A and B are shown apart, each in its own frame.
Chain A
Amino acid sequence: MDQKAIELILFRQIASCLAISTLILDPQGKLIFFNEMAEKTFGVRFSETGELLSDKWSHVFIFMDKKGQRIETKALSLYKSITTQRISHEEIYLQSSNDSLALFSLSTVPIVNIQNNFLGVISFIQEFST
């Protein structure tokens, strides 16, 4: 198997050192990595799930609006970043451990390498109160 692009490898290494939930998705929307903080936020472990296609991760990583309604995958800013290759930001809600909704910011940056190849996106998710 060929190595992943060095930019993805380096982003994973950085994400592994961060205290902010971080997701890395490929150009097809496959979730190819999430870090330890994301494991804590979403209650799943990367070592158990491995890479997840979009129709799989959308059942695990559930983003909601302020009314508690689930936001469809294609309506998420991170998904739009994949299709437009543009930076995006939005405020979303996640279910907390006590079943209340908690407000998070979701920022996504496209990963475009020096040869102008689009390699995917990296998303950062941070709770407003932290």
Chain B
Amino acid sequence: MKVTLWGTRGSLPSARAETVLYGGNTSCVQIESIAGNSIILDAGSGIHPLGQFLDKKVERVDILLSHLHLDHIQGLGFFAPIWDKNVEIHIYAPATFSESLDTLLTRYLSPPLFPVFLSDVPGQLFLHKIGDDDFDIGNIKIKSRFICHPGTTLGYRISTPKASVAYLSDHEPILGAQEFIKSTDWISGYSLANEADLLIHDSQYTSEEYQEHIGWGHSSIKDALQFAKLAKVKAFVSFHHDPSHNDEALDQILAQAVLEVKPNFKVIAGKEGSTFQLS
């Protein structure tokens, strides 16, 4: 399994000289299995360069959206395969109570916010509402669970027989508590992350910033590392970086959190363009 980070920024694209190292594109991760299946996690602005990179002969693309906040869908209209009539595009997103996925996505992908209606793009779109589900895409197993973030939001565990990746891009598992509950089945996202080879997790705030943003649906990097430690992951990737944090600040924040938590697993700064080969 190969994992590529195409966008690691949270909330707002943040391309400027001081963010070159971590990158400015919003959430997008590509997972490729040895058997050739490819899954895309979220359609933030990072999906635009991914679309340029994909094989022009691709016939099917599967996009798993964590939720429909703008920073996770804003790249969709600029994703080359949706403009190709020969490509099947399957979009999976969390169910909501009253409105169809088509209606929700069209709010953004329609005039005046976007020049073309979603229904008019030439690519063959298949929209799938999902929730707490387990399903397969090719030889890849997908486990989706609702997690703690405002609105309906899914976390994912992507598994092949040889490797597993957990993706919790927007997640505040410590909400309303001072520390994690001992019964792990009561912890949001725990079963997705448990013993994952790679956990890609929301790391938006410093501990001080988190105190000013409780309930906003994001984690401090220290809480994220403690969650990862509890879940016994093998490696951790920081993700969904705050747009106000430049490269220097992100390096310092991560180093400080590592000093405090003392993780017994590999900690990787989530930088755009990074790839991870999992056996």
Contact = CB atoms under 8 A, between A and B. Distances in A.
Interface stretch (B114-122, B183-191, B219-227, B233-241): B183-191
A49 interface: no
A1 B97 CA distance: 27
B145 A10 contact: no
Contact of A12 (B147, B186, B191): B186
Given A2-B191, A5-B132, A13 B185 contact: no
Contact of A3 (B145, B175, B176, B177): B145
A19 interface: no
A1 B191 contact: yes
A67 interface: no
Interface string A1-41: 11111111110111011000000000000000100000000
B65 to A, nearest CB: 15
Contacts of B152: 114
Contacts, number: 54
B177 A13 contact: yes
Contact of B95 (A4, A14, A115): A115
Interface residues of B, number: 23
B176 A6 contact: no
Contacts of A8: 186
Nearest to B174: A13
B185 A2 contact: yes
A10 B191 contact: no
A67 B264 CA distance: 60
A13 to B, nearest CB: 4
A3 B95 contact: no
18 contacts: A3-B185, A3-B186, A3-B191, A5-B132, A6-B148, A12-B186, A13-B175, A13-B176, A13-B177, A14-B176, A16-B177, A33-B186, A113-B146, A114-B95, A114-B97, A114-B131, A115-B95, A115-B131
Given A3-B192, A33-B186, A114-B97, 12 more contacts: A2-B145, A2-B191, A3-B184, A3-B188, A4-B185, A5-B132, A6-B188, A13-B176, A13-B177, A16-B177, A17-B176, A115-B131
